[in-house]
Amino acid sequence: MTRFIHDKFAKDYLEELLKPYGKVEAQKPVSGEVRYIDVFFSPFIAEIPHLPILGLLGQFASIPAIFEPFRNPAAKEEIRYCLQQELEVISNIEREAKRNKTILLDREIPKTWILTPTASVEVLTKVNALPSKKSLPGIYCLGEEFRTAIVVIHQLPKTPETLWLRILGRGTVQKRAIDEIMALPQDHPYRRVTLELLYNLQQNLKINQAIESDDRELIMRLAPLYQEEKERIKQEGRQEGRQEGRQEGRQEGRQEGEQRLILLWLTRKFGELDSLFIEQIQALSVEQLDLLGEAVIDFSEITQLETWLRNIEVLLPLRDRETPAP
């Protein structure tokens, strides 16, 4: 089901945005009956002053937080389930503080943020969720002692402050947020990583046979952006190559520039690369690097890189030396 594809995107997205500022745990287990919190965040105190870059999401993350994103409108049963998980987490924290004979401060107790695209008046009424008097429209609190709030994403003001939450909306709300992210400066710290996650979402949705109309529209919206990003990366490689070329020779400089760019891109996607992969990429010609630069954005698994290198017939002497002679 596409819901699980969107769930994974939401968890990966929140983890990428919040991990510079604290410890992020996705699918955190809760004691008792087997339950899992989607995203549990514990801030680094020293990093709190930097959170305004994330706007409203940064405000939520200024204290320990539980994030429960929903692709479809959260039903009252799902809200109740989130509330049960929160109470279990708070009980565990209180028991640990009692065992350690420490004073538990209010800001050490996590708050749960239920992120839902829309919510009916009926559902909000049944869970006794009231509009917050201290925050923006679209935020409903379940009561101070419960430390739970429902964020109705489509009701949030369309401002830069809410951008990083609106990307988790649906339909026109999400598409507008994508346009706003594309309009950010190229060097914005969260522009590229968000677009990378959106491109991965697009690829995962494309291979799904039964997708909703919202998802088809999202794929269509992301398709030209995907091509723009591929062309931008290609141009970056050429530009860096030209810069290096002025210092070390045009051909050699361009080759090294594209190598560094591709290796950086692969490391961001898959983590530290095997040294054999690095050697193979460094052995590619400029023309082959151009082809790899276009192909690498489509890779979702490291095995795709291995297959690509095999098909391009790049076999280093190192590998030949490791193969016993017949």
Query: What integer pLDDT is reported at residue 3 of this predicted model?
Result: 67
Per DSSP, what are the bridge partners of residue 39? 26, 67
Query: In angstroms, rounded to a whole number, what is the distance separating the alpha carbons of residues 134 and 146?
Result: 17
CA distances (Å), origin 278, targets 44, 207, 235, 236, 314 = 34, 30, 22, 20, 12
Q: Which residues of 262-297 are buried (b: 16+ CB within 10 A; e: fewer)?
A: bbebbeebbeebeeebeebbeebebebbbebbeebb
Tell me how far CA of residue 163 lies from CA of 39, 94, 118, 179, in angstroms. 19, 34, 16, 10
* DSSP-derived secondary structure letter, 314: -
Which residue, among 61, 52, 57, 54, has the nearest Cα to 22 in the 3D structure? 61
Contact 139, 130 (CB under 8 A): no
| 44: Cβ contacts below 8 Å, ≥ 6 apart | 21, 22, 23
pLDDT in tens, the chain (326 residues): 566 788 888 988 998 888 888 888 876 666 555 467 788 898 876 445 446 789 999 999 988 999 999 999 999 999 999 998 888 888 888 888 899 888 888 888 899 999 999 999 999 999 999 998 888 999 999 987 789 999 999 999 999 999 999 999 998 999 999 999 989 998 888 888 888 888 878 777 776 656 676 777 777 777 776 666 666 666 665 555 455 444 444 455 567 767 877 887 787 778 788 888 888 888 888 788 878 877 877 787 888 888 888 887 544 443 444 444 44
Please name the residues in contact with 103: beta carbons below 8 A apart, sequence gap of 6 or more: 97
Determine contact, residues 112/82, Cβ cutoff 8 Å: yes
Q: In 3-state terms, what secondary structure has residue 187?
A: coil
Phi and psi torsions of 101, nearest 5°: 55, 45
What confidence score (pLDDT) does residue 36 get? 72
Q: What is the rounded distance in angstroms from the CA atom of residue 56 to the CA atom of residue 170? A: 18
> Which of 263, 115, 239 is closest to 186 using CA atoms?
239
Contacts within 8 Å (CB) and 24+ apart, 30-36: 30/85, 30/88, 30/89, 30/92, 31/88, 31/92, 32/88, 35/81, 35/84, 35/85, 35/88
